[in-house]
Amino acid sequence: GRVIVTIDGVAASGKSSVASGVARALGVPYVSSGLLYRAATLLALEAGAPLEGARALLTHLRAHPLRLEALPGGNRLWAGERELTDELHSTRVDQGVSAVAALPEVRAWVDAQLRALPEPFVAEGRDMGTNVFPHADAKFYLTASPRVRAERRAQERPEDVPAIEAALIERDRRDRVQSAPAPDARVIDTGPLSLEGVIGTILAALPA
């Protein structure tokens, strides 16, 4: 089997919804790498470990193995019997995740989890087409202006649009090292497109 599609992009560019729609059209699962970074962040916050303390965090992850359940309609994240999924999109996880994701040990841990998943699937994140699955058949990178992304995310967060926009710009800045389009990725500005429009653009661009 092969990874068929990677969908990377900036924060709140619609990657999860787009990846889910593309995966459903293809009849394969999609994989949200961000959920693993978010789960590592949540556990670090709960353990009281300093976010910069990679060693303490990784010890914790070894003691509490996580499981990413890559269902076609949405991903679920488990720590043993406890489901973390609904706790992974809080504002405090949003604020802490970039620092945790910048730790090389954490990135290696996530990459190993992703590479162990049975292919094929649609993989979604920041570095799927560059680092994790450079052999993918088709690669996409989603962008949109900070204001457009903040307006979308305001449907899912308690803060107002200007506060969300400021937080997105800050997260873009911190994520810059771990987020770049692959040279062979097709960049799609999702600003003028509906969700169905983005999914359709990707499906139309896939190799026959």
Q: Measuring CA to CA, how many Å separate 137 from each of 37, 114, 154, 192, 207? A: 25, 17, 34, 26, 8
**Residue 37 makes contact with ligand CDP by CB under 6 A:** yes
80-139 residues in contact with ligand CDP (CB under 6 A) are 97-98, 101, 125-128
Residue closer to ligand CDP (CB basis): 33 or 204: 33
Cβ 158 to ligand CDP shortest distance, Å: 15
The residue with tokens 């293809």 is 26
Residue whose CB is less far from ligand CDP, 90 or 178: 178
Residue closer to ligand CDP, measured from CB, 4 or 179: 179
Q: Rank residues 16 and 20 by Cβ distance to ligand CDP and give the closer one.
A: 16
Q: Show the DSSP H helices in the chain as ranges.
A: 15-26, 33-47, 54-63, 91-101, 104-115, 146-153, 161-175, 195-205
Closer Cβ to ligand CDP, 15 or 204, answer by number = 15
Among 109, 140, 175, 188, binds ligand CDP (CB under 6 A): 175
Among 29, 34, 96, 129, binds ligand CDP (CB under 6 A): 34
Closest residue by Cα to residue 31 from 130, 132, 174 = 132
**Pair 8, 185: CB distance under 8 Å:** yes
- Shortest Cβ 208–ligand CDP spacing (Å): 28
DSSP secondary structure code for residue 159 in this structure:
S
DSSP track, 105-146: HHHHHHHHHHHTSPSP-EEEESSIIIII-TT-SEEEEEE--H
User: Please, what is the minimum distance in Å from the beta carbon of residue 80 to ligand CDP?
Assistant: 22
Output 89 or 186, the one with its CB closest to ligand CDP. Answer: 89
Contacts with ligand CDP by CB under 6 A: the residue count is 18
Residues 1-30 that bind ligand CDP (CB under 6 A): 11-12, 15-16
Task: Identify the H or E element spanning 74.
Answer: strand 74-79
Q: Which two tokens stand for residue 28?
A: 């394969």
> 1: which 2 tokens?
């089997």
The answer to the question of residue 171 lying near ligand CDP (CB under 6 A) is yes
Sites of contact with ligand CDP (CB under 6 A): 11-12, 15-16, 33-34, 37-38, 97-98, 101, 125-128, 171, 175, 178
